[in-house]
Every structure is written in C-alpha cells, then in structure tokens.
Amino acid sequence: MTAKMASSMVEHGEDAFRKLFKFYKRRNPPPDFNEVINFAKPINNDKVFHYELNSSPLNEEEVSKAGLQPVKDWRAFALRGYPGFIFISNPFLPGSQQYWAKQCLKNYPQKPNVCNLDMHMAPAETENIWEQSIDGIQRKGSGKREPKTLLEKLRWVTLGYHYDWNSKTYSPDHFTPFPTELHSLSHRVAAACGFPGFNAEAGILNYYRSDSSLGIHVDESEIDHTRPLLSFSFGQTAVFLLGGAKREDRPTAMFMHSGDIMVMSGPSRLLYHAVPCIVPAPAGNPLPSCLSQTLKSEPQNDDIIQNVNEGDWKVCSWYLQTSRVNVTVRQVLGSGQTFPNTETLSGAAHTSMDSCQKSDEEGETGTHKKRKTESGYERDS
C-alpha cells in the first residue's frame, strides 16, 4: 500500500486513527514512510511552521548544565490544527544524551521506583536490574543463545507519583522522590515553552524493543490538565501519531528521533496519540550518530550532565542499537490542589500492567495480542 493510499484510507470511517495505526504497524510488506513528517530535515509541509520559544527566563549556562544548547539555537515547530503542540528537534548538546540514556537504563529502574517486573517477581529479584543484567548482556556475543536479561524484559518504570495501571489514578500514598536532575531538565524545557514554574511530579518511562508499539490513548489521569506533558526520546526512531479529541479524527504522523522533545499543552494536552512502530535502524548504522558523540568539555561538579564511564556506555549502546526509551514527565497537581479522598479518576495515561506496548514479552502477563486500554481490551490484529 502506498503513502497516497494511506492518506485516502483514513478520510472516512468510524476509527480513522485505528486504520492508520495498523498501516504503520504492518511488517510485511513494510509501510511507506513518505508522509511521515521528519523535523530533522528541511520541512516542506504546509502543516508545519516554526515556533518561537522564550529564551529570556533561561541563560545559556543554566541550560547547558542540563546538557541543552542555548534556547535561541533550538529548532522548535508547531502544527496547524494542533494548538499547544510543540516539537523540539534534538536540542541536546553533543555527548549529553549519553548521560540521560544511562539514567533511564541504569538508575531510574532501581528501587524505590516501580517497574513492570515488580508485578510478577519478588522485590528482591528486581532490586538491581542493571547489575543483574550485565553478565548476561556480555555473553550475548558468544554465539550461544542466552535467556533475556531483566533489562531486556523492562517495559515501564514510574517515578514520583506512581501511576496505578488498574485504577488509572495517582495517589499521595504511592510516591517516591522524583529525580532532581530530571526535574531540572523538565523545568528548563517547560520554561522555554512558556510554562515557568512547571513542577515535575510524575514520570513514566516506556522501553520499546524493535517489535513494540504504544496503543491509542489520551493522557488524562492527572488532576491538573493546564500544565504541559513533556516527552523525551532516546535511542531508535519511532513513528508518533497525533490525532484529535475523537478517534474519528485523522492523525498526523511524525518521526521521533533520539533527543527529540515533544510538549503537549493547552488543547493538545488531551488529544489521542500512539506509537505504532519503531523504525528499523539503517544497515551498518545501528546506533543514532548523536548517541556516539562524547562531551566536548569536562563537566563541572555542579553540572547535571556528567561523563558516562566506558563500561556503562557499552551496555547502554548495546541496548539502544535495537531499542528506544521514552520519558514522559507530568505535573499531577495544580497550584493549591490536593488529591481527592474518594473520587476515582477515569481515563488512562498508557495502559495495562505491562504498558500498552506489544512485544514478545506480553505472554508473561497473559495479554498476548490483547491489551487493556482506556475503553477495555483491544486487539492489534
């Protein structure tokens, strides 16, 4: 099926989003990506226009400590028909993505944070996912078939206010300290996008293997929807679909490359969206070039970004050659707000106890090709 046919197939029908999701998820024959917006290249699309960021509240030294280029040098875009949506094409300084990738793979899955493995393993078994995985990863090149490591089985991690996948709520009783460095990064990005005072209170990390996808959903479980949702990507490229307030609305497809940041605010905060596929890496270049870069100067003690040692990066780069990590950061409560005592908040951030990603690990939780969404269970095929 051609890209032109992909356009026409979703102009009508009761679930236009679902049809395009299945088109890009298809493996044989592979989908045509010609209509996917690529913000990393010169844009020739009437729907895309440059977005003016606010650099005044942030000096260059402040953003560089978080591994970001000066705000004036960021390439930011918006989409006609999607007010409040901002796409920032890799604003990270060369070498700084290695630090954030290591945090996502080595540090954030550690206790007291919560991950999908906790749902069917004893706490002692998931105490140190990184250390338990290193030996198995180092044996992967021996030619002998090795069992999957815990790192390879990781599907999601929650930070701060931990999202309850069953009740689809956050609770003051289910909270661990939010990582200070990730809060600082998020605070700076939000300020540049016109949201000073953003308070990062909850994070969901999704770990995508080459066969993973993220189902169609709306992020509406946060009590305050006036604050933006921030999304950071590291690793392999994904196709992201941004739809409307109804599933009948035709979505727009775009690539999310390593280092890209998306901000969903205002009317776009409650739009349907999904990730139908991870794009196969180019032959001979399994690791995105921006992840091969090292820091140009030695970090200072008060910098957030620090060097990643060779041993840690060897594990990270091996993982990211075939995988992607996405970090979404949210402010759960608005100024002066508190958690309700009895109200059950409906709607879903992502889905199911093993996220709404479909992968070869789904059989462990018995979801197989089904996964729980905000409207119940749905199949991919």
Question: Which residues carry a binding-site annotation for Fe cation?
Answer: 217, 219, 273
18, two tokens: 């679902």
**Residue 113: CB atoms within 10 Å:** 20
Distance (Å, rounded) from C-alpha 198 to C-alpha 186?
8
Helix (H, G, I), strand (E, B) or coil at 319: helix
Could you tell me if 337 and 223 are in contact, meaning their C-beta atoms sit under 8 angstroms apart?
Answer: yes
Alpha-carbon distance of 84 to 99, in angstroms, equals 29
C-alpha 147/C-alpha 135 separation (Å) is 11
Is the C-alpha dihedral spanning 192, 194, 200, 206 positive or negative? negative
Are 131 and 184 in contact by the 8 Å Cβ rule? The answer is no
Residues 226/285, Cβ–Cβ less than 8 Å: no
Region at 108 (left for phi over 0; alpha for psi -120 to 50; beta for the rest): alpha
Residue 63: both structure tokens together? 């953003």
CA dihedral 182, 188, 192, 196 (to 10 degrees): 100
Annotated binding site: 217, 219, 273
Phi and psi for 308 in degrees, rounded to 5?
-100, 125
Across 229-280, the runs of DSSP E, i.e. the strands, are 229-235, 238-242, 252-256, 261-264, 273-278
- Rounded Cα distance between 199 and 125, Å, is 32
